[in-house]
């Protein structure tokens, strides 16, 4: 137990926890996106709703869900702790410090992109997770999605949040492997390729959903107007 505590108190130990929770959340994103792609099935949401019912009723999923929330909380709290600790390491600041000449912006803004993702997560859970999981009467998750994404401001907020998520992962994905000691000369080019999927393709995949439903909704309403 003592050595576990010592590991946590070491700078590398905290970072390892940070990267493991980060990678766990990234794996969840993959699952989440694959599930969400059912929205495009063109069956008025039958498959998507079946998938949603499965998630809510399956005990294994419910069990993993606990770890998912724990993962988010640990990742966020540790991120803030590390940020505060790091801020204290230079009491007298440089008058002139040109970090932008030698390090990417994404690597220095994870705390801010992380906070935006946190706000997004709160709104996201409030509009989708809580109604389908905790309300007694049956709500159609497909209608929930349709309704939410008919609002252009809500869509815009989603797109910005996903852009920020991509930027967060731009640094986070490779950083996690560096911290776990897996980024060496042999793996680095492969990891950078893999990183592209995570910081680019996955956010784009998620972004397709509000865009699709916004135009779908527009199309449906013009059709109804046309009938009248």
Partner 1 sequence: MNFTLKIWRQKNQKDAGRFEMYEVQNISPDASFLEMLDVLNNQLVLQDRDPVAFDHDCREGICGSCGLMINGRAHGPGRKQATCDVRMRIFDDGQELVIEPWRAKPFPVIKDLVVDRTAMDRIMQAGGFISARTGGAPDANSTPVTKENAEESMDAAACIGCGACIAACPNSSAMLFVAAKVSQFALLPQGQIERKERVQKMVIQMDKEGFGNCSNNYACEAECPKGILVTHIARLNREFLRAKLV
Residues at the site binding partner 1, with contacts judged by CB under 8 A: 3, 7, 9-16, 82, 85-86, 88-99, 101-104, 107-108, 110, 171, 174-175, 177-185, 188
By beta-carbon proximity to partner 1, the closer residue of 15 and 124 is 15
Distance CA 97, CA 89 (A): 15
Write down the least CB distance from residue 23 to partner 1, Å.
14
How many C-beta atoms surround the C-beta of residue 70 within 10 A? Answer: 12
Distance CA 135, CA 128 (A): 11
Write down the least CB distance from residue 181 to partner 1, Å.
3
Question: For residue 54, which of 25, 31, 88, 29 has the smallest C-alpha distance?
Answer: 31
Give the phi and the psi of residue 138 in degrees, each rounded to 5.
-70, 125
By beta-carbon proximity to partner 1, the closer residue of 55 and 82 is 82
Write down the least CB distance from residue 165 to partner 1, Å.
18
By beta-carbon proximity to partner 1, the closer residue of 41 and 77 is 77
Q: 202, 176 in Cβ contact below 8 A? A: no
Distance CA 15, CA 31 (A): 25
By beta-carbon proximity to partner 1, the closer residue of 109 and 150 is 109
How many C-beta atoms surround the C-beta of residue 170 within 10 A? Answer: 23
Write down the least CB distance from residue 110 to partner 1, Å.
7
């Amino acid at each position: 137990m003592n050595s576990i505590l010592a590991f946590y108190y070491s700078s590398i130990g905290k970072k390892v926890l940070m990267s493991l929770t980060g990678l766990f959340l990234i794996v969840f994103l993959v699952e989440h996106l694959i599930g969400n792609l059912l929205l495009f099935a063109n069956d008025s949401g039958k498959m998507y709703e079946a998938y949603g019912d499965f998630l809510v009723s399956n005990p294994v999923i419910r069990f993993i869900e606990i770890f998912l929330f724990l993962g988010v909380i640990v990742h966020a709290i540790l991120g803030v702790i590390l940020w505060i600790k790091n801020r204290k390491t230079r009491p007298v600041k440089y008058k002139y410090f040109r970090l932008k000449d030698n390090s990417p912006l994404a690597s220095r803004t994870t705390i801010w992109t992380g906070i935006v993702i946190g706000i997004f997560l709160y709104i996201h859970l409030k509009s989708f997770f809580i109604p389908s999981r905790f309300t007694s009467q049956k709500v159609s998750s497909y209608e929930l999605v349709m309704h939410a994404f008919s609002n252009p401001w809500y869509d815009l907020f989603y797109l910005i949040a996903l852009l920020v998520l991509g930027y967060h992962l731009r640094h986070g994905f490779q950083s996690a492997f560096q911290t776990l000691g897996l980024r060496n000369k042999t793996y680095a080019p492969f990891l950078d390729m893999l990183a592209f999927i995570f910081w680019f393709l996955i956010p784009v995949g998620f972004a397709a959903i509000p865009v699709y439903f916004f135009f779908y909704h527009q199309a449906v309403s013009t059709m109804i107007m046309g009938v009248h």
